[in-house]
Chains A and B, each alone.
Chain A
Amino acid sequence: MQPSKRRITIEAREALSAYALLAPWLVGLGLFVLYPLIYSFYMSFQNVRVTGDGLVMKPIGFLNYKNAFLQDGDFPLLLVQYMQETILTIPVIVLFSLLVGIMLNMRLPGKGIFRAIFFLPVIFATGQVLNEIFNQGAAGLSLLEQYNIQPYIESNFPKMFSDPLLAVLNKFVIVLWYSGVQIIIIVAGLQTIGRPVYEAAGIDGASRWETFWKITLPALTPFILLNTIYTIVEMFTFPFSPILGLITNHMKYTGYGYASALGWVYFSIAFVLILLVVWFFKRIDGQSDKRR
C-alpha cells in the first residue's frame, strides 16, 4: 500500500507544479481567448445596440448570417475574391520558402550574409512601412517591366492561363515578403536531419537528387505542414486584408452583432481550410508509409 500511495502524491505534486506554472497563462486563456470567443459567438446571433446604459441585445437567430450572404453586397464578393487570392498564394509561399530554405542550408561561402538578408522581411513584413513602400511602387517586380514580360505572356498564352499566371507573378513580390518566417522554419527543420544520414547515403552511392527525394523531403514534411498552417493563419490575419477593414467598418456602423457574425464566417473558413490541409498531409504521410 505504502509505495502506491507515495506514487499518487508525486503525481499530484507534479500536476500541482504544472498548474502553478500555467496559472498566468490559464487566466489569460479564460480572459483573452475563451471569454471573447464565446461572447462573440453569442453576439453573432443577436441584434446589438449600443445605448447609454450599455449594450442592448435582442436574439434574432441566424438573421445576421443570412444577411451576410443574402443582403450584404460586399461581403460575399470580397470573401470569394480574397479566398481565390489566398488559395493561389499559399502554395507559392510554401514552395518558395522550401526552395530558399534548402538553398540557404547548402554549403556555400557567404551563406551567413545571405541568411541575414533573407530574414530581413520578418522585420518589415507585418508593418505599415511595407505597405507604404508598396504604395510607392518600389516593391514591384521590376523584372516584369524591364523585359516586357506582361505583354509577352498575354500574347503568347491563352487568356485562361495568362490571367492566373500574371496574378501569381504580380503577387510574387508580396509572396517574397511574406515568406520570412516560413524560410526560418524550413532552415530550422533542416537542422533536425543529421549529417551522418547524408554521409551514409553518399557511401551507399545515392545521388543528390535521390537523397533529396528520399531523405530531405520526407524529413521536412511536418515542417511543410507547419508552414502551410502558418501561412493560412497569416493570410487570414493579414492586417491589410479587405475583409478586416469591412469587419471594422460594420463594427462601427452596422452593429456588433453583424460584425461578429462576419468574423465567425471568416474564422470558420480558415478553420475548414486548415482541417483540409491537415487531412491532406495525413493522407500523403499514410501513402508514403505504405510504400516503404
Chain B
Amino acid sequence: MDKVAWTRRMLFGSQEKNGWIMNLVLYALLLNIAYLYLNPLFYMVSTMFKNQVDLLDPSVRWIPRSLEWNNLKLAWEGLNYVQGLVNSLTISGLGAIFHVMACALAGYAFAKFNFPGKSILFGLLILSFLIPPQTIVIPMFLLIKELGWMGTKFAIIGPAMFGHGIRGSLFVIIFTQFFRTLPKELDESARIEGAGSLRILLNIVIPLAKPAILVVFLFSFIWHWNETYMTALVVGPENTPLTLSLNNLQAVLKGFYESEVDNMFNETIRMSASFLIIMPPLILYAIAQRWFVEGVERTGLIE
C-alpha cells in the first residue's frame, strides 16, 4: 500500500475505523460538553461543603479548606427532608407504576389490534400530547376539587392511573411504537393455541417489553419527581414533595435565624438542599443507567 494513502487512513479514518484526527476531535468535543454537564454538579457539591470564609475567599474555588457539614444539616431540617422524601417517593413511585400499567395496556391495544375508531383515537392521543397543561389547568383544578382529590397525592397520581397525567400520552406512544416492533407471529401462534388477549399480554408480551417498561418507568419517575407546576396548585402542604420545599426553604431558614441570614450564607444551604433533592433520582439513574441506555437502543422509541 502506498504511504500517502496509509497516512491518510490513519489520520482521517476509513469507513470501518476512525482515524487519529477524527478521534481527537471527537474526544475534545465530547469532553467539553461532558464538562459543561458536570460543572453544575461539581459546583453544587463543592459549594455545599464551604463555610462562609471559604465562600468569600476567591482563592478557594473548588475544594473547600474544611468540610462544613452544618449546611447539610440545616438544609435537611429546612426541607423537612424525611417527610418530603416520603412524599416525593410515593408520588413518583406510584405515579410511575401506574403509568407503566395503564400506558402499556393502551399502547398494546393501539399497536396490535384493529378496531373501529382507531385512527380517531390515535389522533386524540397525539392531541393530548400536544396540549400545554396551562391551557387546561383551570378545568383540571376544578375537576380535582370535584373528585375530592384536592390537597392529596391523588391530585397528581390519579390521572396517571388512567394513563394520563404528566406526559402520559408520550408513554402510550412509546409503548405503541415498541409493541409494533414485536413480530405479529408471536401473538398469532399463541392465539391459535387458544390463549386469550390478556394471557398473551401477561405471559408473552410483558416479559419481552422489559426495555420499554424500564424507559417509561424511569422517565415517569423523574418527571413526577421534578414536576412543580400542577403540584404547586393542587397538592396540599402535608403532601408537598421535596422539589417544592426548595421554594419554602428561604422562609423556613428565616424562621431559624432571627438575624438576617445573608444571601451568601444561604447559597451554601440552598446548594445542600438541591443536592439532597436530586440525590434519590441520581441514585436511581446510577443503578438503572446500564439497562436504561440499552433500553433506549432497543425500544426504537418511534418509527
- Counting CB contacts under 8 A, is A76 at the interface? no
B114 & A11 in contact (Cβ 8 Å cutoff): yes
- Counting CB contacts under 8 A, is B253 at the interface? no
- Counting CB contacts under 8 A, is B119 at the interface? no
- Counting CB contacts under 8 A, is A155 at the interface? no
B300 & A103 in contact (Cβ 8 Å cutoff): no
A176 & B37 in contact (Cβ 8 Å cutoff): yes
CA distance A112 to B302 in the complex (A): 23
- Counting CB contacts under 8 A, is B58 at the interface? no
CA distance A33 to B300 in the complex (A): 27
A22 & B37 in contact (Cβ 8 Å cutoff): no
Q: Using CB atoms, name the residue of chain B closest to A180.
A: B37
- Counting CB contacts under 8 A, is A213 at the interface? no
B105 & A22 in contact (Cβ 8 Å cutoff): yes
Q: Using CB atoms, name the residue of chain A closest to B13.
A: A208
Question: In B123-170, which residues have CB < 8 Å from any A CB?
Answer: 124, 127-140, 142-143, 159, 161-165, 168
Stretch at the interface among A86-94, A120-128, A163-171: A120-128
Stretch at the interface among A1-9, A58-66, A260-268: A260-268
Residues on the B chain within 8 Å of A29, using CB: 121, 124, 128, 162, 164
Q: Which of A124, A208, A239, A266 contacts B135 (CB 8 A)?
A: A266
CA distance A264 to B139 in the complex (A): 13
Q: Using CB atoms, name the residue of chain B closest to A29.
A: B124
Q: Which of A133, A188, A222 contacts B40 (CB 8 A)?
A: A133
CA distance A142 to B197 in the complex (A): 57
CA distance A108 to B19 in the complex (A): 11
Residues on the A chain within 8 Å of B222, using CB: 122-123, 126
CA distance A64 to B197 in the complex (A): 50
> Which residue, of B14, B131, B299, has the highest number of chain A Cβ atoms within 10 A?
B131
- Counting CB contacts under 8 A, is B239 at the interface? no
- Counting CB contacts under 8 A, is A201 at the interface? yes
- Looking at the assembled complex, report how far the CB atom of B169 sits from the nearest CB atom of chain A, in whole angstroms: 8
Residues on the A chain within 8 Å of B271, using CB: 132, 136
A251 & B300 in contact (Cβ 8 Å cutoff): no
B40 & A31 in contact (Cβ 8 Å cutoff): no
**Chain A positions 119 through 153: 1 when the CB is less than 8 Å from some CB of chain B, otherwise 0:** 11111101111101100101101100000000000
- Counting CB contacts under 8 A, is B52 at the interface? no
> Interface extent on A, as a size class?
35 or more
Residues on the B chain within 8 Å of A192, using CB: 300
Question: In B17-48, which residues have CB < 8 Å from any A CB?
Answer: 17-18, 23, 26-27, 29-30, 33-34, 36-41, 43-44, 47
Stretch at the interface among A12-20, A67-75, A77-85, A280-288: A12-20
A14 & B132 in contact (Cβ 8 Å cutoff): no
- Counting CB contacts under 8 A, is A98 at the interface? no
**Chain B positions 234 through 265: 1 when the CB is less than 8 Å from some CB of chain A, otherwise 0:** 00000000011011000000000000000000
Q: Using CB atoms, name the residue of chain B closest to A42.
A: B139
B282 & A123 in contact (Cβ 8 Å cutoff): yes
Q: Which of A107, A120, A132 contacts B270 (CB 8 A)?
A: A132
Q: What residues make up the interface of B, taking CB atoms closer than 8 Å to A?
A: 13-18, 23, 26-27, 29-30, 33-34, 36-41, 43-44, 47, 102-103, 105-106, 108-110, 113-116, 118, 121, 124, 127-140, 142-143, 159, 161-165, 168, 172, 197, 201, 219, 222-223, 225-229, 233, 243-244, 246-247, 267, 270-271, 274, 277-278, 281-282, 285, 289, 292-293, 296-303
Query: Which 6 pairs, one residue from A and one from B, show the smallest C-beta to C-beta distance?
Result: A28-B162, A202-B15, A127-B226, A36-B139, A18-B113, A36-B136
